[in-house]
């Protein structure tokens, strides 16, 4: 089982639509959670951190369910500029030495269509 | 620009040659990471430094790969005797050690091994 799994996508949605991405992680000792956005041939950029209480940033809402080891991202009123790959990222223990590292999902590609 | 910078942005080399990449982190960040990303995959962790100390190395990092951060500021990643399978985007990220350890990525160096 992969450490971080995401919906394979691609998601093709019309402007104004609401779209949801799901992600599961395997390591219950994971401490922090993020969504990154990556445009084609560019570096990943932090979209938002994800907290247990859920958090919202404008049109974006992230949820974390630690019991189910599940993370979600909801985008409301999709814009053309939202077209990108969305990476689910988990900060998990990397080795027995107490080190934590980011583990990325493969990403879900979103295309918002006019 | 006070973000993470990487040099060069693109490198084309012939199989068997050595290549070296440089990363300059955000100035107040004490942690520096190297990742590798291939098409259709999320970034994969290679190694990280806290100040000048290299604290973790991935199993992906064969003995042909070496990284340094001699003064705790910039870092270099060298690949010796490059192979076609080394072709990828090499991403550097930096963070300031705090509770969340949010990582910020540079633009990456795209390596093509012919």
Q: Which of chain A's residues have a Cβ under 8 Å away from the Cβ of B55?
A: 97, 99
For the residues B20-30, what does the mean pLDDT come to?
A: 94
Q: Do A43 and B106 touch (CB under 8 A)?
A: yes
**Contact: B100, A42; criterion CB under 8 Å:** no
Size of the A and B interface in Cβ pairs below 8 Å: 50
User: For B76-112, b where at least 16 C-beta lie within 10 A, e where not — what string?
Assistant: ebebeebeeebbbbbbbbbbeeeeebebbbbbbbbbe
Percent of chain A with pLDDT over 70: 95
The string of pLDDT tens digits covering residues A98-110 is 667 889 999 999 9
B41 → closest Cβ in A45, A100, A106:
A106
Give pLDDT, residue A96.
55
Assigned token pair, B32: 């520096």
Banded model confidence at residue B15, pLDDT cuts 50, 70, 90? very high
* pLDDT band, residue B71 (cuts 50/70/90): confident
Distances (CA, A) of B101 to A6, A101, B47: 22, 9, 15
CA of residue B114 relative to chain centroid, distance: 20
**CA-based nearest distance A50→chain B, Å:** 11
Of B42, B101, B104, the CB nearest to A87: B42
pLDDT band at A70 (very low <50, low <70, confident <90, very high): very high
Nearest chain B Cα distance for residue A114, angstroms: 25
Q: Does residue A54 surpass a pLDDT of 90? A: no
pLDDT above 90: residue A53: no
Using the predicted structure, report yes or no on whether residue A73 has a pLDDT greater than 90: yes
For position A58, what pLDDT does the model report?
96
Q: Exposed (0-12), middle (13-18) or buried (19+): which is A105, by Cβ within 10 Å?
A: buried
Predicted confidence at residue A1, as pLDDT, reads 62
Residue A3: HSE in the Cβ half-sphere, 13 Å Cα cutoff? 20
Q: How confident is the model at residue A2 (pLDDT cuts 50, 70, 90)?
A: confident
- CB-CB contact of A6 with A106 (8 Å): yes
Cα–Cα separations (whole angstroms), residue B63 to B57, B60, B70, B107: 11, 10, 19, 25
Does the pLDDT at position B99 exceed 70? no
């Amino acid at each position: 089982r992969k450490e971080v799994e995401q919906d394979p996508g691609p998601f093709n949605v019309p402007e104004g639509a609401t779209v949801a991405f799901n992600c599961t992680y395997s390591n219950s000792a994971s401490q922090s959670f993020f969504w990154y956005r990556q445009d084609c041939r560019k570096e990943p950029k932090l979209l938002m951190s994800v907290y247990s209480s859920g958090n919202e940033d404008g049109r974006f809402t992230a949820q974390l369910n630690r019991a189910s080891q599940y993370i979600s991202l909801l985008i409301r009123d999709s814009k053309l500029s939202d077209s990108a790959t969305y990476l689910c990222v988990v900060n998990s223990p990397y080795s027995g030495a107490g080190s934590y590292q980011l583990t990325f999902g493969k990403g879900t590609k979103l295309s918002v269509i006019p | 620009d006070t973000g993470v910078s990487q040099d060069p942005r693109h490198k084309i080399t012939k199989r068997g040659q050595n290549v070296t990449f440089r990363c300059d982190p955000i100035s107040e960040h004490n942690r520096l990471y190297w990742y590798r990303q291939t098409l259709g995959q999320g970034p994969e962790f290679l190694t990280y430094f806290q100040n000048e100390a290299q604290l973790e190395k991935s199993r992906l990092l064969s003995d042909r790969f070496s990284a340094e951060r001699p003064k705790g500021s910039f870092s270099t990643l060298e690949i010796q005797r490059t192979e076609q399978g080394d072709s990828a985007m090499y991403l550097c990220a930096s963070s300031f050690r705090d509770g969340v350890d949010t990582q910020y990525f540079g633009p990456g160096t795209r390596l093509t091994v012919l």
